Amino acid sequence: MASDEKKLHIAMFPWLAFGHMIPYLELAKLIASKGHRISFISTPRNVDRLPKLPPTLASLIDFVKLPLPHVEYLPDNAEATIDVPLNLVPFLKKAYDALQDSMTLFLEDSRPDWLLYDFAPYWLPAIARNLGIPSAFFSIFTAACLGFLGTKAQMGERKSPEDYTVPPPWAPFPTTVSFRLFEVLKIFDQGVTGVEEEVSDIYRFGEVLQGCDVVAVRSCMEFEPEWLSLLEDLNRKPVLPVGQLPTTAYDSEDDTDSWRWMKAWFDRQSKRSVVYVAFGSEAKPSQTELSEIALGLEQSELPFFWVLRTRKGPADTEVIELPEGFEERTKERGIVCTSWAPQLKILAHESVGGFLTHSGWSSVVESLQFERPLILLTFYADQGLNAKVLDEKKIGYLIPRNEQDGSFTWDSVAESLRLVTVEEEGKAYRDKAKEMKRLFGDRDSQNRYVDSFIDYLESRNPSTTSEG
């Protein structure tokens, strides 16, 4: 191992969502495993809820807890998107933006060799530049998602929701990647125009892309080479894929206890017969959507394991409920779990034959590393673009919906589940999932991407290139 003087100190600052913090932590673990030092910056409650580190890495990853400033309308103890309903997320962003001073003090004091940040802190590139700290926008979004958004100037060209329902005119290759109208309408006010004088997500993306020195993307050349190449052409700066970052779990005793009864149930099911249903920490179906999903599962006659979040934190007043009698009618072949469940262990179990998912990229990666075919039902944010990428490559099957309002029916849910999981016509999706395992589950390939990324960071850093 090289001497300590040659090792990097990298600071990481993800957005306050577990779908962002977990990939950041995976990258942190991979970089730390090469002997480099990480400062992982978030709020106290979020740090305490992150998965435990392997003992071998604990000394190399330092968790920096920055208290989240109080903001009006943001509930006490709400420090991540998992804690609040969608209408309160703008206040979480306002609190995150108020971390500007404490982030500046941390950077002045610690002087990391590199700073990696998410899409949200539009104010951070300028701070890093003023302090002479090289910075990278580490995107947990796919290259297709970033390529669809375009540059800061191109983002300003789209004025109406309909502008987001067609593929980007700057893509020099054929693609179907775009939002459906109901998907963009859900995010247009907050994401594009900004509400109540808030900073829009589009503005955040534009500033971060323009202000960083390097764009690091959770992706690989084997999966989306055309989009990675387009990103580099558009932004005129290095675009570095860091691999798909499949989640690695370090088991605690609590996890083992929770898993014991679940495993016993999965062990009783036939091989590749179970539909696993989970919509991540961000997505929550409406009451109507929940009812259609439930009746579709019932009608499919397939065994199922459903991890269901009925509310998003104490401030969520819209608690959703399963149709009356549903659990009683399906108890012989299905389980609804309203507590935490170990998704990696579930997807790894041989009885799982299909995954009904919101198309969040961490869930996609976890599913494909275990060869599980995908049935796609999007709810929010980048999920619509992810689903189009998967649909275009015939890796996932989109449940048919009304393009205007997003409505769908229980029979389309049932038909989609059966098609992908057991029927002959869906064999192509099952075969494609097997084929994708080598892209999404190959640890050697993942290591090569991280090695290449570190090589780049070292080559651009004076403290590691000069003689110690």
**Rounded distance between C-alpha atoms, residue 194 and residue 186, angstroms:** 13
Residue 426 confidence (pLDDT) = 95
In this model, does residue 155 exceed pLDDT 60? yes
In this model, does residue 85 exceed pLDDT 50? yes
Domain boundaries of the chain, sorted by first residue: 4-246+442-463, 253-440
Residue 252 confidence (pLDDT) = 55
Give the model confidence (pLDDT) of 94-125 as tens digits.
Answer: 999 999 999 999 999 999 999 999 999 999 99
**Rounded distance between C-alpha atoms, residue 202 and residue 200, angstroms:** 5
Domain 4-246+442-463 and domain 253-440, same fold? Reply is: yes
Any bridge partners for residue 306, and if so which? 277, 336
Residue 219 confidence (pLDDT) = 97
**Rounded distance between C-alpha atoms, residue 380 and residue 184, angstroms:** 9
Residue 251 confidence (pLDDT) = 60
**Rounded distance between C-alpha atoms, residue 141 and residue 144, angstroms:** 8
Residue by residue, DSSP assigns 384-420 as HHHHHHHHHTTSEEEPP--TTT----HHHHHHHHHHH
Residue from 7, 447, 385 nearest 166 by CA:
385
List of E strands, 181-251: 214-217, 239-241
In this model, does residue 467 exceed pLDDT 80? no
Structure tokens, 75 = 């509930």
In this model, does residue 147 exceed pLDDT 70? yes
Residue 254 confidence (pLDDT) = 52
Give the model confidence (pLDDT) of 41-72 as tens digits.
Answer: 999 999 999 999 999 999 999 999 999 999 99
Give the model confidence (pLDDT) of 275-289 as tens digits.
Answer: 999 998 778 899 999
Higher-pLDDT residue of 42, 464: 42
Alpha helices in 301-360 (DSSP H): 326-330, 343-348
Residue 197 confidence (pLDDT) = 58
pLDDT, mean of residues 128-144: 98
Strands 352-357 and 37-42 come out as: unpaired
171 CB burial (10 A radius; 0-12, 13-18, 19+) = middle
Q: Among residues of the chain, what percentage have pLDDT more than 90?
A: 84
Q: What is the pTM for the complete model shown? A: 0.93
Residue 282 confidence (pLDDT) = 75
The least confident of 89-103, 205-219, 247-261, 447-461 is: 247-261
Give the model confidence (pLDDT) of 17-33 as tens digits.
Answer: 999 999 999 999 999 99
pLDDT, mean of residues 418-430: 96
In this model, does residue 354 exceed pLDDT 50? yes
User: Listing from the earlier edge strand, what are the strands of the sheet with 214-217?
Assistant: 61-65, 37-42, 9-13, 114-117, 135-139, 214-217, 239-241
Q: Is 305 helix (H, G, I), strand (E, B) or coil?
A: strand
In this model, does residue 1 exceed pLDDT 60? no
**Rounded distance between C-alpha atoms, residue 88 and residue 91, angstroms:** 6
Residue from 210, 209, 351, 383 nearest 282 by CA:
383
pLDDT, mean of residues 425-440: 94
Residue 465 confidence (pLDDT) = 46
- Mean pLDDT over the full length of the chain: 92
Residue 204 confidence (pLDDT) = 96
Residue 238 confidence (pLDDT) = 97
Decide if 56 contacts 286 (C-beta within 8 A): no
Looking at domain 253-440, its CATH class is alpha beta
Contacts of 219 (CB under 8 A, 6+ apart): 142, 143, 227, 228, 241, 242, 243, 244
In this model, does residue 417 exceed pLDDT 60? yes
In this model, does residue 313 exceed pLDDT 70? yes
Q: What is the 3-state secondary structure (H, E, C) of 33-45?
A: CCCCEEEEEECHH
A 10 A CB-CB count for 441 gives 17
Give the model confidence (pLDDT) of 202-247 as tens digits.
Answer: 999 999 999 999 999 999 999 999 999 999 999 999 999 999 999 8
Give the model confidence (pLDDT) of 357-402 as tens digits.
Answer: 999 999 999 999 999 999 999 998 899 999 999 999 999 999 999 9
**Rounded distance between C-alpha atoms, residue 221 and residue 223, angstroms:** 5
Q: Which CATH architecture has domain 4-246+442-463?
A: 3-Layer(aba) Sandwich (3.40)
